[in-house]
Structure 1
Amino acid sequence: MPFIIKKMFAPQRQKAFLFLIKELEYTQKEAQRLIAKGRLFVDGKPMTRTAGEVEGEFEFIYFEPITRGLEPTAVYDEFVLFDKPSGVLIHPQNRKTPYSLIDELKYQFGRDANIAHRIDQETSGLVLCARNKESERDIKMMFEQRDMKKKYLALVHGELKDEMCIEAPLLRREDESAIVRMVVKVHQDGKPSKTEIKPLKYFKDKDMTLVECSPHTGRQHQIRVHLFHVKHSIVGDPIYGQSQKDIVRFLDKELSDKERVKLSGATRLLLHANELEFDLYGNTYKIESRVDFAKECLLYVNSQS
């Protein structure tokens, strides 16, 4: 478990954030942020005042990263890339999350390393991570300014014969049940969104097509919604292309694997972040995933048919 309760002792009365800076080598900003989040306990009660003081024994909830041996795909002085397996979270959802990619990153590259962007838990593939605070700032800026070229692979239902450019505005749905708050839809009031789709191979026996997706904007669930919009939803998608009843059942973890396969074709979303291309500090990088996603898709679909 990455989050552990660490017993600590302050021999004399002092500001709690100063103690954390000295003992755990946090910056002042980090120490005060963690205190404000209620990570420090005195006599069993959380301290939330960033200027609070400690003396004697107290407890601190400390993030101690663990490893499961996931090796990076590429390592450079300023950044590192991992091929994230499907099912692995980027960040822990709560203090009981047993493992996430941030564990692996910080275990291997230290506390200053941080993940620069996100992909969904069920999406596999490349995740770009900064190795220091400066590169983290610069890489995140690249994503914000759309200076990052991204290519995904997806297995979709039906035969897609021609290349297409989908330009459909996307809106986070705020109506209906609060439990489907994560669902995004094409709507005229949404934000401009653009995805280029290129068919790579049609599998006639499955009536499924492997496609390459190049998003020009970075909206939440963009590729998933756009492919559903053109009636080629991604195999394994438990949200887009499903009834609201089944979406709620999936989110409530009431949908069995067998039911999910029947509804969507797979027990995981068959979407993979396959390639990143960008310029950083005078160098151009084009990095591809090491995973043979087409082969993985066929093995996955065949095993469930």
Structure 2
Amino acid sequence: MKKIKIIAKKNQKEIRLDKFLKCYIKNISRNQIQKLTVSGQVIVNQHIVKKNYKIKPFDFVEIEISNIKILDHLEYKNIIAEKINIDILYEDEDVIVVNKPAGMVVHPGFGNERGTLIHGIKYHFQNSNLYNFDLYRSGLVHRLDKDTSGLLVLAKNEYSKKYLFKQFYSKTIQREYRALIWGNILEEKGIITGFIGRDPKNRKRMTIFRNSESHKGKYSITYYKVLERFKYLTYVSCNLKTGKTHQIRAHFKYLGHPLFHDSMYGGDKIFMKKKCSNKNIKFLKTCLKILTRQALHAISLSFIHPKNEKCYFYCPIPEDFKIVLQKCRKTLL
């Protein structure tokens, strides 16, 4: 995520927002700016504005760019290779599949200028004699949140990147996540849908808008299935039909079942605490100390390889998540 802040000059003429931003940001079209504005990723003077808004003197504009294709090419060239331990599950001349640990940021950005997965990937390829590896023309085709663990595929050349992007765009890549959510969800399986976009009250968080406000978000679909039920918690499998920012986290918050220890969406507090016994409150507090981030793991990934072969990868849940599940099986029956 790249965040750009611009203050209009005192002699600024009144012009459309998209035309104004086009003068300041490289490699972005007015159409892309309009789409970002409609999705709530452009705010002026701390307010969401319409795409036909006209800039005035001293306007304070903030724009969040999440599409890696429109980032400045120089940003990638300036990334310094860092020796970082990366769990590589598979690698060939076209793709690399990694198991990202919780706590690792995927891409550098404000507050995360060093120590990201991309820094480590650049080091890995330099030490594999791939000095011509171009992070702009290859690299990321999807992402995981900092505290979400699991499978991530990266492209090693421009052809592979376009080939994988096409599958993400057409929604043919299959991704399964495992999540531990608060409460006893009603249905054994279901579909969560809604228009997802930036929360006007907290720009770091996503929210689901009502149908009447659908223009503020993008349509999103999550399929879920209950795997195990515990007292106060439910272990679920999730499959994404769309892949929006924080989709699973925002969807289960919308249902009233936030992810276990998801501090951004209210999952770091004990759910229905008044109905819990002192013994169970103590147990749940212990679990929160063991699993100190949202209980979300990308467990499997399936796609068509650029060589036209179907690939499937699986990565078991990490130890902190596994320990909490084991404890729940023994205690919360």
TM-score range with shorter-chain normalisation?
0.5 to 0.7
CA contact (8 A) 1:197 1:213 kept: yes
Alignment of 1:48-59 (within 5 A): none
Match in the other structure for 2:275: none
AA partner of residue 313 (structure 2): I
Distance 2:327 2:105 in 1: 20
* Correspondence for 2:191: 166
**What is aligned with 1:233?**
258
- The AA in structure 2 aligned to 1:83 is N
Secondary structure at 1:223's aligned position in 2? Answer: helix
Distance 1:78 1:185, change over 3 A: same
CA contact (8 A) 2:197 2:208 kept: yes
Change (3 A) 1:212 1:186: farther
The counterpart of 1:198, out of the listed 202, 225, 239, is 225
Larger Rg: 1
Q: Name the residue aligned to 1:16.
A: none
Question: Which position in structure 1 is the counterpart of 2:293?
Answer: 268
Cα pair 1:233 1:240 within 8 Å, conserved: yes
Letter in 1 for 2:114: P
Q: Which residue of 2 aligns with 1:222?
A: 247
RMSD, matched Cα? 3.1
Alpha-carbon deviations, 1:147-193, whole Å to 9, x = none? Answer: 211110001112236433224212324634xx435332242114332
Task: Out of 278-287 and 120-129, give the one that drifted further.
Answer: 278-287
Corresponding residue for residue 277 of structure 1: 302
**2:312 is aligned with 1:286:** yes
Whole-angstrom distance in 1 between the partners of 2:112 and 2:244? 29
Q: 1:225-278: CA deviations, max 9, x gaps?
A: 2112222210011122379xx9xxxxxxxxxxxxxx97x945311111111111
Change (3 A) 1:301 1:64: farther
Give yes or no for contact 2:230–2:328 (8 Å, CA) kept in 1: no
The 1:97/1:300 distance shift into structure 2, 3 A limit, reads farther
Matches of 2:264 and 2:80, distance apart in 1? 34
- Residue 118 of structure 1 is matched in structure 2 by 143
AA aligned to 2:104 is V
Match of 1:184 among 194, 207, 212: 207
After TM superposition, list the pairs within 5 Å mapping 1:24-173 onto structure 2.
33-34=73-74, 62-94=78-110, 97-109=113-125, 110=130, 111-112=133-134, 114-160=139-185, 162-173=187-198
Q: Helix, strand or coil for the counterpart of 2:163?
A: helix
TM-score, reference length from structure 2: 0.60
Q: Number of aligned pairs?
A: 226
Counterparts of 1:283 and 1:67, CA distance in 2: 32
- Deviation above 4 Å: which 4+ runs of structure 1? 299-302
**What amino acid is aligned across from residue 180 of structure 1 in structure 2?**
R
SS at structure 2 position matched to 1:65: coil
In structure 1, distance between residues paired with 2:312 and 2:267: 36
Is this contact kept in 1: 2:259–2:267, CA < 8 A?
no
Judge conservation of contact 1:237–1:268 (CA < 8 Å) in 2. yes
Residue by residue over 1:4-34, the C-alpha shift from the partner in whole angstroms, topping out at 9 and shown as x without a partner, is: xxxxxxxxxxxxxxxxxxxxxxxxxxxx942
Q: Which runs of 5+ in 2 are unaligned?
A: 1-71, 270-283
- Between 1:194-203 and 1:80-89, the stretch displaced more is 194-203
| 1:270–1:297 Cα contact (<8 Å) kept | no
After superposition, the C-alpha distances for 1:211-231 in whole angstroms (9 at most, x for unaligned) are 100111112211112112222
Report the Cα offset of residue 145 of structure 1: 1.7
Q: Quick one: structure 1 residues 126 and 76, their matched pair in 2 at CA, closer, same or farther if it must change by over 3 Å?
A: same
Amino acid at match of 2:123: Y
1:168 aligned partner, one-letter code:
T
Q: Which runs of 5+ in 1 are unaligned?
A: 1-31, 40-60, 247-260
Question: 1: distance between equivalents of 2:112 and 2:193?
Answer: 38
Report the AA paired with residue 218 of structure 2: K
| Counterparts of 2:222 and 2:120, CA distance in 1 | 31
Q: Which moved more, 1:123-132 or 1:95-104?
A: 95-104
Identity of aligned residues (%): 27
Alignment check: 8 A CA contact 1:168 1:186 kept: no
